[in-house]
Amino acid sequence: MSVPTSAGGVPVLILKEGSSRSRGKDAQHTNIMAAKIVAETVKSALGPKGMDKMLVDSFGDVTITSDGRTILDEMDIQHPSAKMMVEVAKTQDNEAGDGTTTAVIISGALLDQAEDLTEKNVHPTIIIDGYKKASDQALKTLEKIAIPVDIHTQGYLKKAAMTSMASKLVSEHREHLAELSVKAVLQVATKEGAKHKADIDDIKVEKKPGESVSDTKLINGIVLDKEIVHSGMPKIVENAKIILLDTALEIEKTEFDAKINIESPEQMDAFLKQEETMLREMVNKITATGANVVLCQKGLDDMVQHFLSRKGIVAVRRIKKSDMEKLAKATGGKIITNLDDMSLADLGSASIVEERKIGDDKMTFVEGCKNARAVTILIRGGTERIVDEAERSLHDALCVVRDIVEEPKVLGGGGAPELEVSRILKKYAETLPGREQLAVRRFAEAMETVPVTLTENAGLDPIDILSELRARHEKGEIWAGIEVHSGKVQDMSQAGVFEPLAVKKQIIKSATEAASMILKIDDVIASGKMKTPPMPPGGPPGGPPAGWAGWVQAPECTKIRQRKV
Ligand SMILES: Nc1ncnc2c1ncn2[C@@H]1O[C@H](COP(=O)(O)OP(=O)(O)OP(=O)(O)O)[C@@H](O)[C@H]1O
Ligand SMILES: [Mg+2]
């Protein structure tokens, strides 16, 4: 690139030394390339016959997954437009919870098609306008063909949850996990007018390696990864009346420095007695409510633990705030911040509170809650990696069920809706004038990447399958898709492969927006890299946070990460 000069021939520099700039087709080409590479990377993970990726981070920790978002998150991508594809996966995950791989693949395909058009001198703005029209039309088509479902009486929720897990490492247990997901979501769902709302944050997912994925359980209440504080307390309480405390049962330290001069053993004795009386009073206030379980977000003094155990009251301390909120929803109790201000009505209830040994750890189960609006799924599995992947798969399944509960419409899977959208778009393109028509046609072709990729990943011939799919859709078989286990084109609604409408709509939206955003860029200005000063030996000033033993520098990593040693 030649440097612009002033009239006197002096070069005019507007950017800092070290900055780089690329413009026009160059910039577009590089951006599209980077985004396409990302799409290409996740392609092989799509569908039940897709492959898994093994990701090793700078500490050597291994993740094995086929989840689009996790793959991209772990890849630590640097290129700015490649990062936009990571954003697509993130948005898709946050909005719909499933379909991340598909969103990235479609986005890549849209860019691939657009690149072809720009080479034929179609201006990116025209492509973007065409893509917008096509995406609106695609959304309308999906709405039109979607099957309305009744969330209580039909098995669609379970089938959709099973479809979302068909492509995961834990697919062999998908029926069991799907049943748990449906029960959990329906348990926490609330009715708002004619609609239902479900917040999957009300479903706590705990995991512990050991046993098998088929031993994963739904608990009608909350499981805490904590043990009962005192060995003298009972390990099991039936008909639990629970106090949820957000205040420490300790003598608080004053905020200012205070000094007490104790000059005689009697004074010392009186001082300790006073402390004991204060703690005893706290315990008395608790017993006065009739509670037999104390679940505390903060600390419990040793003496308080002792007094409580003498009265047969069970206590657990330092519970996470988020768990306290779930406990309140599950047990129907109120979180108490002031000991002087509580009554029987504030207590929560559960039919059982019990400490159980799960694997090597002790966990406390608050179980059998009436009308629990928060529940727990306790994931088990042969190894830590399986448990981790089961958690990711369960997340997808829970989101899929939530999506259908909130918007009770489903579509067939196996590329059927994508192919139907593609068919309608090709017809729609014919009604448009000029070059926009080209863009809409290209959008239609990009949609076909989904059935094609599913077919390729199953080791089948995409040309034969695609022609059969096109022909059958032309005959009006809107749910004709590729069933990858049989390797045949089938009616996916009869094969029981369903996906939420919400997931597919979000895929179209995120993929189109990301592709349009990348296409709109014609100038990339990157400032020179900032030189980061080397980290002082022993980590940043101030030392590691409390409870952390030190710092370790990851190899080839500029960030210093903390590890609990
Ligand atoms: N038995 C099946 N036959 C054909 N296709 C199937 C079958 N089961 C699921 N699919 C398809 O697999 C695709 C989903 O694959 P996958 O779960 O790997 O990707 P994703 O949902 O896009 O991304 P992620 O789950 O990583 O967020 C959907 O298009 C779905 O219709
Ligand atoms: Mg999926």
The per-residue pLDDT for range 356-384, each reduced to its tens digit, is 998 888 999 999 988 889 999 999 998 88
Beta carbon of 483 within 6 Å of any ligand 1 atom: yes
**Percent of the residues in the chain that have a pLDDT greater than 90, as a whole number:** 54
Q: What is the largest CA-CA distance in the chain?
A: 99
The per-residue pLDDT for range 267-295, each reduced to its tens digit, is 888 888 888 888 888 889 888 888 999 99
Q: What is the pLDDT of residue 556?
A: 47
- Which atom of ligand 1 is nearest to 485's Cα? 1
The per-residue pLDDT for range 297-326, each reduced to its tens digit, is 999 989 899 999 999 999 999 999 999 999
Q: What is the mean pLDDT of residues 339-354?
A: 89
Q: What is the pLDDT of residue 58?
A: 79
The per-residue pLDDT for range 171-195, each reduced to its tens digit, is 899 999 999 999 999 999 998 888 9
Q: What is the pLDDT of residue 267?
A: 82
Amino acid at 80: P
| C-alpha neighbours within 13 Å on the C-beta side of residue 87 | 17
Which ligand gives the minimal distance to the CA of 93? 1
Q: What is the mean pLDDT of residues 206-230?
A: 92
Q: What is the pLDDT of residue 559?
A: 44
**What one-character-per-residue DSSP string does 364-392 give?**
EEEE--TT-SSEEEEEEESSHHHHHHHHH
Q: What is the pTM of this model?
A: 0.85
Q: What is the pLDDT of residue 553?
A: 52
pLDDT bin (cut points 50, 70, 90) of residue 565 is very low
Output b/e per residue, 127-144; b: 16+ Cβ within 10 A: bbbbbbbbbebbbebbee
Beta carbon of 221 within 6 Å of any ligand 1 atom: no
Beta carbon of 412 within 6 Å of any ligand 1 atom: no
Q: 496: burial class by Cβ within 10 Å (0-12, 13-18, 19+)? A: middle
Between residues 266 and 416, the one the model is more confident about: 416
Q: Is residue 519 scored above 50 in pLDDT?
A: yes
Q: What is the pLDDT of residue 558?
A: 44
The per-residue pLDDT for range 127-162, each reduced to its tens digit, is 999 999 999 999 999 999 999 998 887 789 999 999
- Which atom of ligand 1 is nearest to 415's Cα? 29
Mean pLDDT of all residues belonging to the chain: 86
Q: Is residue 527 scored above 80 in pLDDT?
A: no
